[in-house]
Amino acid sequence: MAGNKYDKYFVKEPIVTRGGFFPVVIANGAKDYEGSEFSLRVHYITEPGVLVKETHAHDFEQFYFFFGADLANIKEFKAEVEFSLGEEVEKHIINVPTTVHVPAGIVHGPMNFKKVARPIIFIDALLSAQYTTR
């Protein structure tokens, strides 16, 4: 029996584990959504670690979301994330639920989850079919 007409719009079990640091849900526009100019990564962070080691930039906009992993109380943010933005590598400390807009071409990183007392969710949404750096 052939698949349903709209089966191609459903991606089953898009969860991978990266290097033992955390599980991540990935939606990739190029691979999963016929080249749609959108990709998403949802990270479940339970322990300290460096997610982005080097400064870099992209030719697309990126949006970061940081919030508590207890969805009944997402304002509870028991973590400290160090994130740098701009050519000057201007450091910012994220210790409350926060969103960050990274315009195309803006240098950013590193991103260091320095303290994680309770799990948090980090979402990386990008307006591109494929994650690439320059």
Strands 15-18 and 22-28: antiparallel
> Nearest 10 degrees: CA dihedral of 123, 124, 130, 134?
-160
Would you list the domain boundaries of the chain?
A: 17-126
Confidence class for position 113, pLDDT limits 50, 70, 90: very high
| Residue 2: pLDDT over 80 | no
The CATH class of 17-126 is mainly beta
Selected residue with higher pLDDT from 53 and 10: 53
Percent of the chain with pLDDT over 90: 60
Compute φ and ψ for 74, nearest 5 degrees: -65, -15
Please classify residue 51 by burial: count the beta carbons closer than 10 Å to its beta carbon, then call 0-12 exposed, 13-18 middle and 19+ buried.
buried
E strands, the chain, in order: 15-18, 22-28, 39-45, 49-52, 62-68, 79-85, 90-94, 98-102, 108-116, 120-126
| Residue 131: pLDDT over 80 | no
Cα distances from 105 to residues 50, 55, 59, in angstroms, run: 22, 12, 6
> In sequence order, what are the beta bridge partners of 116?
79
Residue 1's pLDDT is what?
47
Residue 28's pLDDT is what?
80
How many other β-carbons are positioned within 10 Å of the β-carbon of residue 87? 9
Q: Angle at the Cα of 83 (from 20 to 127), degrees rounded to 5? A: 80
| Residue 39: pLDDT over 50 | yes
- Residues 90-110 have a mean pLDDT of 96
Confidence class for position 95, pLDDT limits 50, 70, 90: very high
Give pLDDT tens digits for 68-82. 999 899 999 999 999
Listed range (3-7, 73-77, 82-86, 97-101) with the worst mean pLDDT: 3-7
